[in-house]
Each structure stands twice: as structure tokens, then as C-alpha cells.
């Protein structure tokens, strides 16, 4: 009996001790920073979009992406990016530890926010081709405004609208690309963009104009779990303090928002001036490597012009370099030692284009195959494959380029890209990229046929008006 009582005593003591240890235990209030280090991975959620996160040339990119990658490197772990559109889903994922941080998602409720590292102004924007410019809030009376799911935008609008009767549509499943496309196609009148987004979209959609400012100095913040250990917050503060002090954040900003836009049109006169003055430096090599890798040299030269304007020292806002704008990975794959050497760059571009063409499905119309390849050169074949798969699901034969084009546009629309293998892509950018190259190519074909390559500076007078490229 005594032994039994002693046994009960020690069991009870063990239970009491365990309960004492666990009394303050909460599975959702762990030392998040230690867990991240232990897993050697940090999961950060953000939105797909032209300023935050996207993929181009088979590599991840975006302003927010660079900041996220920088933090992962700062604490010495791998970065895993998770994309979300719904704020409710994002907050739940954060506080359930499915993600570790929400980056620049406009989240302020039910989370602990940390470090406002950037400030933006917000504007009402409209399509100048279809809508009269609104100059003040009263001009929006009885209109609709569609915005992404952002509490910061909503709060700023609410405080600005006052008694004006406006239908505010909060799109929980759309990204900013889709809303801009709706404005472009005159399906909605107004939305809200910040100055960073405007700097990108204005280059591609010049009809999108500013009406008026609704707020200024709106902070871009990262959100962390509301019950997180202080260590993660401390590390974020250290990181942002460092990149601000060293101007690294400014470099990220300049790279994405103030540099040259890679895919903007160049007017015909500018193109011809470069053809007469710059192209002769590289003509021999374009023709040499076009012959080696079985390309039309005029097409290879057109790709080079679109990529860099035949500038051997070019550096894209995405970080790729050289005349043919090869990535580090592509250069390595093509056995190119120095991608900034123009001769090596031209060879690398020709070699890479040949590889893409070789791997394209045989079902594609032979006359259109090159446009599929050029689009893949820009966006990666995985995304082109996604577009073809969407067409197939619609029982559409997408072996002709003009048939595939609308499906490439769908790569930036959430209801479509969420069902694809490779996800979001700036499809509208890729179509402009291909369109530009086709126009440069048409001019080079004409010039070559007329044997006018270096005859005189009045060469522009001989170009048919249908081939002229307008600056937009």
C-alpha cells in the first residue's frame, strides 16, 4: 500500500511539474527567429505585381523581392516567397505560422507591424482616352473606384471621400495588373496607384494618368505575428537600419523605379541613327553567330537592340547585363565567360535562342515558332507552356502566335495564373517585347533588301510609313 501511495505521489508530482512548465505554452507564440534559423528558411508573403514580385528571364525579381532576399541573406537563411491577394488569408497564414512575415501588403490589423522602410504617395488614376480628368473628389460623384485588398488604401480613401457618393469596390482576388487592365479596357473608371506603381505602368500604358493625390507619405511596412518573440523584430530593425545607412535600399529603389525601362519603344529615327552609328561595330558578329547557330541575322540583331539598344555596357533594371542581356545562369549554361564582352554576349544570345527553338513543340506553326522562342527568351518557356496549356484547356489550338497572345495576357490575372505551374508573369510586358522586335526586324529586312545599310543619313526617307515606329 505504501509503495502504491509513493508511486501515486511521484506521478502526481510529475504531472504538476509538467503542467507548470506548459501553463504559459502557446504553440503560436514560439521563438520565431530561432525556428527560422533552425529550418534554414524564412517564408515571406507578398503580392504578385510589377513592383513587388514577379519572374522574368527565369529569375525572380521585383523591388519587394530584393528587400526580402536581402533580409534572408542578412540572417543567413534561404528565402521562400509565398504570394497572396486576400488580406484575411494573409493574416491567418501569418498568425498560424504558415508564413513568417507579410511584406508590403498593407496589413495593419491583428498583427505586429515592424519598420516602415519606405513611403509612397497615393493617387486617383484614370484612362485619359475614355475618361475626363478628375481634379477633385467631387468629380468622382456617383462613380466607382476599384482597388486591391489593402486596408491602407481603403482607410486613406475613406478619410478623403467624406460625403461624396462613391461605390468603392475592394477586389480580394485581383492584383493591380488586372485592375489596370480593366481601366485600360474602360471596364472601370478609377483606381488608386502609388508613385512606384505609376513609374512602371506609365511606360507601358501611357493612357493611364493621374487625377489627383489622395494621400502622401504612406508607409510600406512588414507585418510579423502579433505574439512573436522580440528577437525577429530586433533583427528586422537591424536589417532596415543597415540598408538605409549603406544606401542599399536606395539602390534597390533606383534599380526598379528610376532606371531605363527595357521594353519601351524607340522611335524610327533613333533606331536608324543607332543602325548607322552603332550597329556597324557589331554587324560582323551578328552575321557570324547567326550563321553558326542558324538564325536570321536581322532577327538576332533586333533582339539585341530590344535588349540593350546595342549597348555593350547595358545593365537592365532586373540586373541582367551585356548587349544580349544574359543572366548569370544563362551565361553559365551557354559557357559564356564574360557576358559583358559584346562578342561573347552575341554568341551566348544566339546559342541560347537556338536551344529554345530546339526545345519548342513540333506542333507549333513553323512560321510562328520564332515568336514563341523570342517570348521564351524574355519570360521563360515555362510561362509560355502555361499559356499553351490554358489554351488547350479551352480546347483552343494555340500553335499560332496570334491565338496564343490573349493567353499570355492571362498570365498576370489571378484567376488564371493560380491554376498554372509557373504562376504569375507580366504577360503584357512580354507581348510588347515581341511586338517591338518584330517592328525592328521589319525595318532591318527592308533596309537589307534595299541594300541601304550604310549609304546615307537620309535613309529614313526610304522607309515605308507602315514600318515607322512611333514613340509612345
Q: How far apart are the first and last CA of the chain?
A: 95
- Cell digits for 198? 505609376
Cell numbers that stand for 447 in this block: 533596309
Q: Which residues have a Cβ under 8 Å from the Cβ of 24 and sit 6 or more positions away?
A: none
Contact present, 206 and 472 (Cβ < 8 Å): yes
DSSP symbols for 169-222: EEESS--HHHHHHHHHTTS-SEEEEEHHHHHHHHHH-TTEEEEEEEEEEEEEEE
55, 178, 197, 307: which one is catalytic?
A: 307
Rounded Cα distance between 173 and 176, Å, is 10
Q: Is 247 exposed, middle or buried (0-12, 13-18, 19+ CB in 10 A)?
A: exposed
Distance in angstroms (rounded) separating the CA atoms of residues 178 and 224: 28
Give the whole-angstrom CA distance, residue 371 versus residue 307: 15
Secondary structure class of 312 (helix, strand, coil): coil
Paired with 315 in beta bridges are 321
Is residue 55 part of the annotated active site? The answer reads no
Contact 209, 198 (CB under 8 A): no
Radius of gyration for the chain, computed over Cα atoms and rounded to the nearest angstrom:
27
In whole angstroms, what separates CA 38 from the centre of its chain? 30
Q: 115-140: b or e for each residue (b if 16 or more CB lie within 10 Å)?
A: bebbebbbbbbbbeeebeebeebebb
Distance from C-alpha of 354 to C-alpha of 300, rounded to nearest angstrom: 11
Q: Which residues are catalytic?
A: 307
Amino acid at each position: 500500500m505504501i509503495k502504491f501511495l509513493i508511486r501515486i505521489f511521484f506521478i502526481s508530482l510529475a504531472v504538476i511539474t509538467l503542467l507548470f512548465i506548459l501553463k504559459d505554452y502557446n504553440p503560436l507564440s514560439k521563438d520565431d527567429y530561432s525556428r527560422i534559423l533552425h529550418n534554414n528558411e524564412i517564408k515571406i508573403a507578398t503580392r504578385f505585381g510589377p513592383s513587388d514580385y514577379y519572374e522574368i528571364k527565369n529569375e525572380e525579381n521585383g523591388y519587394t523581392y530584393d528587400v526580402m532576399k536581402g533580409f534572408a541573406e542578412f540572417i543567413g537563411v534561404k528565402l521562400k516567397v509565398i504570394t497572396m491577394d486576400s488580406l484575411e488569408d494573409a493574416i491567418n497564414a501569418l498568425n498560424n505560422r504558415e508564413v513568417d512575415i507579410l511584406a508590403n501588403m498593407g496589413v495593419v490589423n491583428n498583427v505586429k507591424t515592424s519598420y516602415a522602410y519606405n513611403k509612397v504617395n497615393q493617387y486617383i488614376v484614370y484612362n485619359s482616352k475614355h475618361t475626363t480628368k478628375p481634379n477633385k473628389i467631387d468629380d468622382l460623384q456617383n462613380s466607382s473606384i476599384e482597388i486591391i485588398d489593402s486596408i491602407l488604401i481603403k482607410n486613406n480613401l475613406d478619410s478623403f471621400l467624406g460625403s461624396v457618393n462613391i461605390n468603392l469596390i475592394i477586389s480580394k482576388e485581383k492584383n493591380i495588373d488586372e485592375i489596370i487592365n480593366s481601366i485600360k479596357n474602360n471596364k472601370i473608371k478609377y483606381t488608386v496607384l502609388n508613385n512606384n506603381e505609376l513609374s512602371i505602368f506609365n511606360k507601358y500604358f501611357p493612357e493611364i494618368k493621374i487625377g489627383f493625390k489622395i494621400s502622401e507619405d504612406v508607409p510600406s511596412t512588414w507585418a510579423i505575428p502579433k505574439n512573436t518573440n522580440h528577437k525577429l523584430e530586433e533583427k528586422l530593425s537591424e536589417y532596415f537600419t543597415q540598408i538605409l545607412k549603406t544606401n542599399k535600399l536606395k539602390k534597390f529603389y533606383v534599380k526598379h523605379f528610376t532606371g531605363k525601362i527595357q521594353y519601351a519603344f524607340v522611335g524610327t529615327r533613333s533606331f536608324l541613327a543607332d543602325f548607322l552609328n552603332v550597329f556597324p561595330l557589331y554587324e560582323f558578329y551578328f552575321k557570324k553567330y547567326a550563321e553558326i547557330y542558324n538564325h536570321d541575322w536581322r532577327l538576332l540583331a533586333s533582339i539585341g537592340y530590344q535588349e540593350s539598344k546595342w549597348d555593350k555596357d547595358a545593365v537592365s533594371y532586373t540586373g541582367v547585363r551585356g548587349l544580349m542581356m544574359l543572366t548569370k545562369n544563362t551565361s553559365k549554361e551557354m559557357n559564356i565567360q564574360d557576358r559583358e564582352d559584346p562578342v561573347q554576349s552575341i554568341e551566348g544570345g544566339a546559342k541560347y535562342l537556338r536551344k529554345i527553338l530546339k526545345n519548342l513543340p513540333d506542333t507549333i506553326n513553323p512560321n510562328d515558332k520564332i515568336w514563341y522562342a523570342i517570348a521564351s527568351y524574355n519570360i521563360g518557356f515555362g510561362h509560355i507552356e502555361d499559356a499553351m496549356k490554358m489554351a488547350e484547356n479551352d480546347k483552343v489550338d494555340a500553335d499560332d502566335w496570334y491565338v496564343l497572345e490573349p493567353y499570355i495576357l492571362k498570365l498576370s490575372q489571378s484567376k488564371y495564373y493560380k491554376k498554372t505551374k509557373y504562376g504569375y508573369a507580366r504577360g503584357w510586358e512580354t507581348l510588347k517585347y515581341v511586338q517591338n522586335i518584330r517592328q525592328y526586324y521589319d525595318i532591318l529586312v527592308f533596309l537589307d533588301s534595299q541594300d541601304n545599310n550604310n549609304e546615307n543619313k537620309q535613309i529614313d526617307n526610304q522607309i515605308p510609313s507602315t514600318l515607322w515606329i512611333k514613340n509612345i
